[in-house]
Structure 1
Amino acid sequence: MLSFFRRLSKSKIGTGIMALILIAILAGFAIADISNFGSGKIGLGGSTGALASVGNQDVTEREASEAMQRRLQEARQQRPEADYNSVISDLPAVINALIDQSTMLAFADKYGFPLSKRLVDAEIAQLPNTKGLDGKFSEQAYQQFLAQQRLTDPQVRRILSGGLLQRLMLTPIATNARVPVGMATPYASLLLEAREGEAAIVPTELFKAGLKPTDAQIQQFYGANRNRYTVPEQRALRIARIGAEQVAGVVPSDKEITDYYNANKTAYAPSDTRSLTQVVVPDQPTANAIAQRVKGGQTLSAAAAPAGAHAALTTLTDQSRAAYSSVAGDKTANAVFAAANGALVGPIQSDFGWVIVKIDAVKAGGGKTIEQARAEIATKLTADKRKSAIEDLVDKVQTALDDGSNFAEAVAAAKLPVTTTPLITSAGTSRVDAAYKAPAELAPVIKTGFEIAPNDPPEIVALGGDAGYAVVSPGQVLPAAPAPLTSIRDRVATDWIVDQANRKAEAVAKQIADRASAGAPIADAVKAAGVTLPPSRPIAARRIEISDQRGNVPPALRALFTTATGKARMLANPAGGGYFIVKTNKITPGNALSAPQLITQVQSQLSEATAQDYAEQFTAALRKEMGAKRNESAIAAFRTRLLTSGN
C-alpha cells in the first residue's frame, strides 16, 4: 500500500532507500559473500578518473566499476548468462548512491562531524568472516578477509563510514515525520473505491493456423532479431588442481613420529584424577591447629568446625591436575598430586589463604606407549604434512606466476595434472554436450575463469573446506554472438509464427478496445471481431484489494483501476500468449470515515513516505551545499566501457 501512495504522490525514491541500495551494493560483504567485490579491475580500462566530485571527495571510476561488478554478480546468480547490458539500467542509481556517500563524507569533513576509529572498528567487528573460532573479532581473520576480497583497510573504512554517516545524519531528519489525519483521509477513501467492468482475452494461439514462413522470411526475421539468438560467451578453461591427490605420497617418517611423541610425553603419560576435601583459612596458626586435629583422628570437617565462618570447606570430585591447579594454584596442585591416597597435605599458603587438603580417593589414568599412540600420531602428522605440502605447491605456483611464467610453465614446474573443460558458459554447462556439467566444487574456479581476461595471468582459487586449490586460465574463448541460423532454423521459424500470430491478435484486440471505448459492451465488440474468441467476463474489485497484493496484481484488475469510466484499454498479457481488453463500467467512490482504523494505517504509511522524502530533500540540500558536480562525459564514457567490456 505504501508503494501505491508513492506512485500517487509522484514522489521520487527517498535517500533512505538509496542509502540501503548503497550499503547493499558497496558494503554487501557485511551481509553476504562478495567474492568478486574489488576484483582489482580499475575502471575497466585502467582509468581512475572522477565521475563526480563533492567538496574534497571524488567518485572514481574504480568505485563505480566495483559496484557494477557486484551488481552483475548478483544478476548472474539468477541468470548465469547475464552481462553488463542486463544491469546497465542500474548504473544511474549506483552513481547517485556513490555521490550521496561522497556528499556525506565531504560534509562531515568540512563541518567537523568526525567518526571515531572505535565506532568504525565496531562496524568492522560485525562483518562476517572477521571472527575467530571463539566468535570474537580476529585481526588475522580480518586480514584474510581483506586479501580474499582484494580490499584495503582504508577502502573498507570509507565504505562503512559512508553508511554510518547516512544513518547518523538521516535518522534525525526522517524520524517522527507526521502526516495529519485530514491529509490521510482522502487517500484512505481512495483505497475503498470500488470498480466494476468487463474483460476479454485474445489468445495468440488462435491465429497460428496456416502460418508457414518462407526461407526469405526466416532469414529476414533472424537478421532483425539477432540479439534474441545470442549465445553467451563460452570458454574452455584449463584447470590444475592442488589438493589431496597431489600430496597423497606425503607421510611422516618413524623419526618424526618418535620426535612428536617425545615432545608431547605429558599428553601420553599416565595421569590420575583425585577426589579431595579441602579447607581454606586466613592465617597459619588456625591452619596448623586444624591439621593437628586431623592427625589426632578427626575428620577434616570436624577439625575445621572450631574455626567457624573463618574456615571455607569444599569437596572436589575427580579433579585432574590442570583442573585443580586452576582452582588452587600450581603450588598446592603439585603437592596434592605428589601425595598418596589418604594423605593430608598442608598447611600450604596460597593466593586465597592457608590450605589443608585431605586426599579422599585416587583414580589412575591409562597413558599410552609410543606403539599405542603411533597410529594416532601418524594420522595427525600426515594431515599436517599434507596441508603444508599443498601450501608449498601453491606458493611454488604463485612464485612462478609472479616471475612471469605462463599457465603451462607454472603447473609443469609443480608437476600438476591439467584438465581442460569443453567450451562452457559461465554456468558451467556445455552447449555442445548437454550431459556435461562442471563439478559443484569447481564453481568458484569457473567463476574466476570467466572474470579474468584471456591475456591476464592465471589465478589460484581456493575451493573451500579441505578441497584445496585450483589454478585456472582461459584457453579457447568464444565471444557472445548469435548462433548460426542453420543450427536454430526450426526455432527461428517457430518464433516467426508466434510473432505473426501475435501481430494478428494485437490488431483484433485493438479493434475490440476501440469499439468498446466508443460505447459498445465488450461482449458485443468481441462478437463483431469476426473471430471465435473466449467469452468476456465481468470483473470487480476495491482498490484496497489490489494494493494489498504488493505488486502481484492481475493485469486485468490493474487496467480496471487505470481506465476511465466507459473507456476500454488493450494490454499485452505479461505471461505472453495474447492480449487483454478491459472496460471500466462503474466507479463507486469510497468513504473512509466509516473505517477510522484504515485512516490511522494510511496516516502511518504516509508518514513513512514523508520521512523518506525529508531524507531525500536533506541529501539534495547537502549536495547543493557541498557543490556536487557530475562529469557527464566521463559517466557516458564509463557506461560505454561497461557495455563493450565483454563481461
Structure 2
Amino acid sequence: MLSFIRRIINSKAGLIVTFIVLGLVAVMFGLGDVSGLRNGNLGKDSVASVGREDVPAADLRQRVQNAWQNARQQQPTLDMVQFVAAGGVDNTLEGIINTNALSQYARMQGMVASTRLVDGRIASIPSVQGVDGKFSQTAYDQLLASQHLSDKQIHEEVARDTLTQHLLDPTFGATQVPLGVAQPYASLLLEKRNGEIGFIDTPAMGKGAAPSDAELATFYKRNIARYTVPERRLIRYAIVTPDQMKAAVTPTDAEIAQAYQASRAKYAPTEKRDLVQVVIADQAAANALAAKVKAGTPIDAATRAIGLEPNVLKAVEKSTYAAQSSPEIANAAFSAAKGAVIGPVRSALGYTVVRVDGIQQIAGKSLEQARPELVTALTAQKTLIAMSNAHDKIDDAIGNRATFDELVRDQKLEAKLSPPLLSNGVNPDDPNSKPDPAFAQVLAAAFGAEKGDEPQIVPFGQGGNSFAIVSLSDIVPAAPRKLADIHDKVASDFVIDRAQRAARQTAIDVVARVNKGMPLAQSLAATRLQLPPSKPIPDVTRLQLANVPRGTPPPPPLVMLFSMKEKTARMLEAPNKAGWYIVYLNHIERGDASKQPGLIDQTRSDLGKAMGQEYAAQFGEAVRRVVGVKKNAKAIADMKAALTGQGGSN
C-alpha cells in the first residue's frame, strides 16, 4: 500500500527474497519451471557456482525460457529481447543461486527433508492430481515424460526448496514494529507538496536533415536489439473435432428405439398437482384445521391462525410426493378432485392435511414424437465416446513411439503447417497477422518442446470438446532484420531518437535556469520553441499516491515530486520518447499523524511485512557469503546474446 514500503520491497535486497519465493511457488504450485531442473557439474559450461555445486548454462537457459513464458501470461506482447533487457536472465539466475545457497546452508546445519514430507509435497501439486483431487501415478508419469525428468530429479528439487522454505519462514514472521517507529512514517503519508510542471515535447525539436547511410548503419548497429525478431517456430498440427465424427455417431433406428424403451417413464403420460400441505403433531388440532378448511376458510389463513406455516408444492408428481410424505397420503391426494381437502392422514411426523390447488395433465410422447430429443441426446453421448476413444487411441500410439505422420495417416486427419510464429501466435512477416485464441494451447506445446520430441495432444478451441495433435517442425532462431529490409523504419527511428536527444538537452538547459532562480514559465519561454505552457501542481499527499486504484500506477512526475528538495527542478523522461517533464517543487508542508491512530496502525502493519522481508533478504545475503557464490560473467553475457539473436548460435 505505502509507496515507501514499495521502495523497500523493490530494493536490491528485496528482490533477492522475491525470487526465492518465486522459485518456491514455481516448484510447489504447478511445476511451471520443472523442465529446468537438471543436476550435474558442467565446469566451463556453468554460468555460476554455489558452494560445491555449479549452475549449468542449460539450466539457466531453460529457466529463462519458462520465466519468459510465465511473464507473457500477464504481458502477451513481451518478446525475449525485451525480457532479457529488463533483467530476465539476471533475475532468474539470482533465484537459482539463492535457492541453492539456502538449501546447502540448511544441510550444513544438519537440516533434512524427509522422504515422506517430500512425497507429500509432490502429491499436493495440482499437475499430478487426478479428477478426484488425489495423487495420480499416471498423471505423474506423464508429467515426467513431457518434461524429460526423472523421479529422482523431482524429489531432489522439492527437497531443496523445502529446506529453503524452512529456513526463510521464521524470518518472514518478524512483524512487530514499535509505535515510535511507525508514527514518523505515518506522518510522511500526510506530507503535502505542491509545485509546477512543464513539458518539452520531442516533435517540437523538428525532424532535421535526412540521415545519411553511414548514420543509419551506426544507429542500426547500436540498436540491433530493437530490430531483432525473437525466436519463431513452425508447427505441424492436426485437429480432431466432433464434426469429424458425424458419420460414426449418427444414431441408428435400433438405438433410438432402445433409448425410448429405457426412458418410457419419461415419455409416459403424467399428472402434476399443486398441493398445500400442513403437518400437525396433535390429531385434535389437525381435525379442527381440516374442518375449518372444508368449511371454506383458506388453508393458509387457518394454518397461520394456529401459529404454523403451510408448505406449498408446485407441479409435483405422485412418485415425488410419495417419497416426501407417504404412499397413503400420495394416493389420497392424487385421487381427489381439484379443491378437495384430504385428511388428516396419519404420517411419520404426525397428521397431514392436504388441499389440492391444481391439476395438470401432461400427455406422453410417442417414439416418433420423442425422436428429435433422443437423436440429440444419443448423438452427444456417442460423440463424447468417439472423441474419447480417438484421444485414447492416439495417446496409446504416441506411447508406442508413433510419428506425427503415422498418427495423421492412421486417423485420416488433415495435417497442417503453420508459418514461423512468435510465441504469442503472431507471424511477424504478415502485417495483418493476429493471435488466434483457439491456437493458444498448440503454441504453448510447441514452444515448450524441442526438435525431435514426440507429438503431443492438447485441447483446441474454446469449447473444450476438440483437441489437436502437435509436433514441432522447426525452430527459427532469433535474428535481426536486414537494414535494407527495414530502411524506412530505421530512418524514422533515427529522426525520433535525434529529436528526443535534442529535447533532452533543452530540458537540461531549462532545469539549470530554474535551479538558478528563473521561474519555470520564463525558462520554458527562453527556449523559443512552441511548447505547452507550464501547469500548477496543487497540494498532493503521499497517502493520495498510495491509494490510487489497483492496477493504475500514480503519475511518475508526482512520484518524483516526493523525492525532491524544496525550490528545485528536475527532469523526467516521458514514455515512448514523447519528450521530457520538468517538475518544480515549490513547497513542502510536513504531516502529523499523531491524531490518526488508524493510519499509524496500518503503517505498523505494512512496515512489519516489509521488515520480515528485509530480514529474510539480509539472511539470504549472509548465507551466500558463507556458502560462496561466483558468477561466470562471460557465460552469462554469451547466453544473453544467444537469447536475443546476437550470438553465434541459438
Task: Assess same fold via TM > 0.5.
Answer: yes
Question: Which is further off, 18-27 or 461-470?
Answer: 18-27
Q: Residue 427 of structure 1 corresponds to which residue in structure 2? A: 424
Contact 2:190/2:590 (<8 A) preserved: no
1:252 aligns to what? Answer: 251
What is the DSSP-based 3-state SS (H/G/I as helix, E as strand, rest coil) of the residue aligned with 1:454?
coil
Amino acid at match of 2:71: E
Which letter maps to 1:381? L
Aligned partner of 1:72 in structure 2 is: 69
Equivalent pair of 1:184/1:602 in contact (CA under 8 Å): yes
Q: 1:506 to 1:18 in 2, by over 3 A?
A: closer
Map Cα deviations across residues 537-578 of structure 1 (whole Å, 9 max, x no partner).
Answer: 4755556268626552343x5555544466654443344233
Aligned match for 1:617, one of 615, 618, 621? 615
The secondary structure found in structure 2 opposite 1:552 is coil
Q: How far is 1:225 from its partner?
A: 1.7
Change over 3 Å in CA distance of 1:61–1:261 after alignment to 2: farther
Kindly indicate whether the alpha-carbon contact (under 8 Å) linking 1:278 and 1:355 is maintained by their aligned counterparts in 2: no
Q: C-alpha separation between the residues in 2 aligned to 1:576 and 1:314?
A: 72
One-letter amino acid of the structure 2 residue matched with residue 573 of structure 1: A
State the 1:476 CA deviation.
4.5
Q: 1:588-625: per-residue Cα shift (whole Å, max 9, x none)?
A: 553445x6446762563154213430454268669979
Q: Separation in 2 of the partners of 1:322 and 1:426?
A: 59
Structure 1 residues 359 and 200 mapped into 2: Cα distance closer, same or farther (>3 Å)?
closer
Q: Aligned partners of 2:436, 2:193: CA distance in 1, in Å?
A: 56
Equivalent AA in structure 2 for residue 258 of structure 1: A
Cα contact 2:404–2:471 (8 A) shared by 1: yes
Map 1:456-471 → 2, pairs under 5 A? 456-463=453-460, 464-471=462-469
Change (3 A) 1:277 1:167: farther
Change (3 A) 1:325 1:26: farther
Query: 1:180 — aligned with what?
Result: 180
SS of 2:35's equivalent in the other structure is coil
1:177 Cα deviation from its structure 2 partner: 3.3
The change in CA–CA distance for 1:609 and 1:111 in structure 2 (over 3 A counts) is: farther
Pick aligned residue for 2:412 from 392, 412, 415: 415
Alpha-carbon deviation of 1:416?
Answer: 0.5
CA 338–146 in structure 1, closer or farther in 2 if over 3 Å, else same: farther
Q: What are the ranges of 5 or more consecutive residues in structure 1 without an aligned counterpart? A: 30-36, 133-137, 291-312
Determine the structure 2 residue equivalent to 1:552: 554
Distance 1:498 1:429, change over 3 A: same
Contact 1:52 1:628 in 2 (8 A): no
The separation in 2 between residues aligned to 1:188 and 1:281, in whole angstroms, is 68
Seen in structure 2, the aligned counterparts of structure 1 residues 314 and 199 have a Cα distance that, compared at 3 Å, is closer
Query: Are 1:103 and 1:626, in contact at CA under 8 Å, matched by a contact in 2?
Result: no
Q: Which residue of 2 aligns with 1:192?
A: 191
Secondary structure of the residue aligned to 1:221 is: helix
Aligned runs of 1:506-585 on 2, under 5 Å?
506-514=504-512, 517=515, 532=529, 534=531, 537=534, 542=539, 544=541, 548=545, 552-555=554-557, 557=558, 561-564=562-565, 568-581=569-582
Instruction: Tell me how far 1:473 sits from its aligned partner.
Output: 2.2
**Cα contact 2:500–2:577 (8 A) shared by 1:** no
Measured against aligned partners, the alpha-carbon deviations of 1:512-541 in whole angstroms (never above 9, x if no partner) come to 544555566666766776x64648747555
Find the counterpart in structure 2 of residue 2 from structure 1: 2
Amino acid at match of 1:219: A
Which of 229, 233, 236 is the matching residue for 1:238? Answer: 236
**2:307 equivalent in structure 1:** none
CA deviation after TM superposition for structure 1 residue 368, in Å: 3.4
Give the AA of the match of 2:390: L
CA contact (8 A) 2:77 2:424 kept: yes
**Correspondence for 1:294:** none
Equivalent residue, structure 2, for 1:374: 371
2:253 partner amino acid: D
Please tell me the residue identity of whatever aligns with 1:553. P
Is 1:213 matched up with 2:214?
no
Q: Please say if residues 510 and 570 of structure 1, whose CA atoms lie closer than 8 Å, have aligned partners that are also in contact.
A: yes
Task: Report if the CA contact (8 A) 1:21-1:97 is conserved.
Answer: no
State how far apart, in whole Å, the 1-side matches of 2:224 and 2:468 are.
Answer: 37
How many angstroms does 1:141 deviate by?
A: 11
Please tell me whether residue 41 in structure 1 is matched to residue 35 in structure 2: yes
- Say if 1:67 and 1:94, in contact at 8 Å, map to a contact too: no
> In 2, Cα distance between the equivalents of 1:95 and 1:377?
59
Match of 2:79, SS? coil
- Counting only pairs closer than 5 Å after superposition, residues 106-505 of structure 1 correspond to structure 2 as 138-139=132-133, 173-174=174-175, 177-180=177-180, 184-185=183-184, 188=187, 191-192=190-191, 194=193, 196=195, 201=200, 203=202, 205-209=204-208, 211-250=209-248, 251-272=250-271, 319-328=316-325, 336=331, 352=348, 366-437=363-434, 439-463=436-460, 464-505=462-503
| More deviation, 471-480/511-520 | 511-520
Contact persistence 2:511–2:570 (CA under 8 A):
yes
Q: SS where residue 32 of structure 2 aligns? A: coil
Cα pair distance change 1:465/1:621, threshold 3 Å: same
> Any idea what SS the aligned residue of 2:89 has?
helix
Q: CA deviation at 1:113?
A: 13
Shift of 1:279: 11
Write the distance in 1 (CA, Å) between the matches of 2:615 and 2:507: 45
Indicate conservation of the 8 Å contact 2:112/2:163, yes or no: no
Tell me the alpha carbon deviations over residues 312-369 of structure 1, each in whole angstroms, 9 at most, x when there is no partner.
x99988653542343357x869x95999779xx999999x499999998997654434
Asked if the contact 2:204/2:531 (under 8 Å) is kept, the reply is no
Report SS of the residue matched to 2:493: helix
Contact 2:241–2:465 under 8 Å retained in 1: yes
AA paired with 2:445?
A: T
**How far apart, in 2, do the equivalents of 1:359 and 1:504 lie?**
91
Deviation at 1:490, TM superposition (A): 0.6
Query: Which stretch shows the higher mean deviation, 216-225 or 140-149?
Result: 140-149
Q: 1:532 to 1:465 in 2, by over 3 A?
A: closer
What is the one-letter code of the residue matched to 1:256? E
For 2:602, the equivalent position in structure 1 comes to 604
Counterpart CA distance in 1 for 2:560 and 2:130 is: 53
Pairwise CA distance, 1:482: 1.0
| CA distance in 2 between partners of 1:208 and 1:542 (Å) | 38
Tell me if structure 2 keeps the 8 A contact 1:517–1:568. Answer: yes
Separation in 2 of the partners of 1:535 and 1:365? 78
What amino acid maps onto 1:252 in structure 2?
P
Rounded Cα–Cα distance in structure 1 between residues aligned with 2:566 and 2:380: 78
Q: Residues 446-472 of structure 1, C-alpha deviation per residue, up to 9 Å, x if partnerless?
A: 332333223322221112425411112
Distance 1:441 1:599 in 2: 53
3-state secondary structure, aligned to 2:251: coil
SS of 2:421's equivalent in the other structure is coil
Structure 2 vs 1, CA of residues 162 and 332 (structure 1 numbering), >3 Å: closer, same or farther?
farther
Could you tell me how far apart the structure 1 residues matched to 2:564 and 2:430 are? Answer: 51
SS in 2 for 1:435: coil
1:441 aligned counterpart, secondary structure: helix
Please state whether the residue corresponding to 1:249 is helix, strand or coil: helix
SS in 2 for 1:238: strand
1:482-522 deviations in whole A, cap 9, x for unaligned?
Answer: 11212110111122222333333434444454455556666
Distance 1:602 1:257, change over 3 A: same
Unaligned runs of 5+ in 2: 288-309, 645-649
Name the aligned partner's letter for residue 579 of structure 2: G
Residue equivalent to 2:302: none
Counterparts of 1:217 and 1:619 in 2: how far apart (Å)? 46
Aligned partners of 2:322, 2:163: CA distance in 1, in Å? 50
TM-score, with structure 2 as normaliser: 0.68
